[in-house]
């Protein structure tokens, strides 16, 4: 008899979880992105002990009916992609249909959801297995609580860092999501204390104020530019507002936060000698282009993307940033001399 066996779904979910679910912030990311994909305008995240004890995400999105709620925890269960053609025109954040299955396999979950038409439902899972499923009165939307993350994968649990480090990852994530979606009201609460709250009115400068403080937000200038293939807009700090790390330059491509070192370099180059040595600006850059110019399917966590026509995009950004900085600096100077 041969040695090869096809592994059961439960085991393969647990292995996939190793890739998708690295730490509490990865769970928050997947749950909040699902809430965004469901069209929510208000998303609240409650953490206990940085999410090690529990992570609750509440949204006012589409919700699910009973059939979808139970299907959603299946591997490769997704409502977002059905043909190969869809794969190259992805507009939603999730599409692999493996996040809920992976998270469920390494935690205990309570899901409450309703699509507003059929009555609500409460489902409980443990280590990926449904242990109860009860009809419950619930408003339209979804409320999912993930507790005891990694309770059945002790090796993964050991690898986690301190509460402060884990919380830091989630704060960074929520800041980026709030910047990516100024039209969604976000709230992040840790052990009962509010860490971030945005109003969902669509004003990026108000989101910047919620994250970096009003004084810094007032010292950020807006710019916009476009080429044949790309539209770019954003906010960049005056050279007097700097940070010791490049991480305060946030880049979004078609609504998705990405690590893009060449765009960060273009921004820094644009400041030229205006920046003190080893200091970097605060910036938020939104790039919009045909989804077909971006290859999102590079990394399981979807943080890295490839862009076509970078040779068009990078100088476009550098030029627009340089011109905004120059005019912001020189106009007030000229006025002072008078
Ligand atoms: P993906 O997001 O890649 O489709 P997930 O495992 O994250 O895969 O979710 C599976 C499916 O469950 C989604 O496609 C969606 O239909 C449904 N779903 C998950 N979370 C929510 C939510 N908060 N509101 C409505 N539907 C949801
Ligand atoms: Mg998802």
Please name the residue whose Cα sits nearest to atom 7 of ligand 1. 99
CA distances, 332 to each of 40, 238, 283 (Å): 42, 12, 21
> Would you write out the chain's pLDDT as a tens digit for each of its 338 residues?
677 776 666 666 666 666 678 899 999 999 999 999 999 999 999 999 999 999 999 999 999 999 999 999 987 767 766 666 665 555 566 666 789 999 999 999 999 999 999 889 999 999 999 999 999 999 999 999 999 999 998 888 888 889 999 999 999 999 999 999 999 999 999 999 999 999 999 999 999 999 999 999 999 999 999 999 999 999 999 999 999 999 999 999 988 888 888 999 999 999 988 999 999 999 999 999 987 777 655 565 556 677 888 889 999 999 999 999 999 987 654 554 44
Distance (angstroms) between ligand 1 centre and the Cα of 228 equals: 34
Q: DSSP code of 273?
A: G
CB 122 within 8 A of CB 136: yes
Domains of the chain listed by start with CATH number: 9-197 (3.30.565.10), 219-337 (3.30.230.10)
**What is the CA(92)–ligand 2 centre distance, in A?**
9
Q: What is the structure's pLDDT at 301?
A: 56
Among 72, 115, 300, which residue has the most ligand 1 atoms within 8 Å of its CB, making it the best to mutate? 72
For ligand 1, atom 8, the nearest C-alpha belongs to: 97
Q: CA 150 to CA 23: how far, in whole Å?
A: 9
The span from the CA of 58 to the CA of 167, in Å, is 19
pLDDT tens digits along 212-261: 999 999 999 999 999 999 999 999 999 999 999 999 999 999 888 888 88
Q: Does pTM top 0.95 for this prediction?
A: no
Pairing, β 220-226 against β 283-289: unpaired
Q: Does the Cβ of 227 fall within 6 Å of ligand 1?
A: no
CB 80 less than 6 A from any atom of ligand 1: yes
For residues 101 and 77, the answer to whether their CB atoms sit within 8 Å is yes
Read off the DSSP letter of residue 8.
P
Kindly tell me the number of DSSP H helices and DSSP E strands found in the chain: 11, 17
Contacts for 164 with CB less than 8 Å, ≥ 6 apart: 50
Percentages helix, strand, coil for the chain (3-state, rounded to 5) are: 40, 25, 35
Q: How many angstroms is it from 176 CA to the middle of ligand 2?
A: 17
Nearest CA, atom 21, ligand 1: 34
- Please choose, from the candidates 248, 238, 250, 247, the residue with its C-alpha nearest in 3D space to the C-alpha of residue 276: 238
């Amino acid at each position: 008899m041969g040695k090869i066996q096809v592994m059961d779904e439960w085991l393969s979910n647990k292995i996939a979880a190793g890739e998708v679910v690295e730490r509490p912030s990865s769970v928050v990311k997947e749950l909040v992105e699902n809430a965004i994909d469901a069209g929510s305008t208000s998303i609240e995240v409650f953490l206990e002990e940085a999410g090690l004890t529990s992570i609750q995400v509440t949204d006012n999105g589409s919700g699910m009916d009973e059939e979808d709620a139970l299907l959603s925890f299946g591997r490769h269960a997704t409502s977002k992609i059905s043909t190969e053609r869809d794969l190259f025109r992805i507009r939603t954040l999730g599409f692999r249909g493996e996040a809920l299955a992976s998270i469920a396999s390494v935690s205990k979950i309570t899901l409450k959801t309703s699509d507003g038409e059929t009555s609500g439902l409460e489902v409980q899972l443990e280590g990926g297995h449904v242990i109860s499923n009860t009809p419950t009165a619930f408003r339209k939307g979804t409320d999912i609580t993930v507790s005891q993350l990694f309770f059945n994968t002790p090796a993964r649990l050991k690898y986690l860092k301190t509460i402060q480090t884990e919380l830091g990852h989630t704060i960074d994530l929520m800041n980026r999501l709030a910047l990516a979606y100024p039209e969604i009201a976000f709230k992040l609460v840790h052990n009962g204390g509010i860490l971030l709250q945005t109003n969902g009115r669509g004003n990026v400068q108000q989101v910047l104020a919620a994250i970096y403080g009003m004084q810094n937000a007032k010292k950020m200038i807006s710019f916009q530019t476009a080429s044949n293939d790309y539209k770019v807009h954003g906010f960049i700090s005056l050279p007097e507002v700097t940070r010791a790390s490049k991480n305060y330059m946030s880049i979004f491509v078609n609504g998705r936060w990405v690590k893009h070192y060449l765009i960060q370099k273009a921004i820094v180059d644009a400041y030229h000698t205006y920046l003190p040595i080893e200091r970097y600006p605060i910036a938020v850059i939104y790039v919009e282009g045909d989804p077909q110019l971006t290859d999102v399917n590079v990394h399981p966590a979807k943080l890295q993307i490839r862009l076509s026509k970078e040779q068009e995009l990078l100088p476009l950004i550098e030029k627009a940033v340089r011109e905004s900085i120059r005019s912001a600096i020189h106009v007030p100077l000229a006025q002072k001399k008078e």
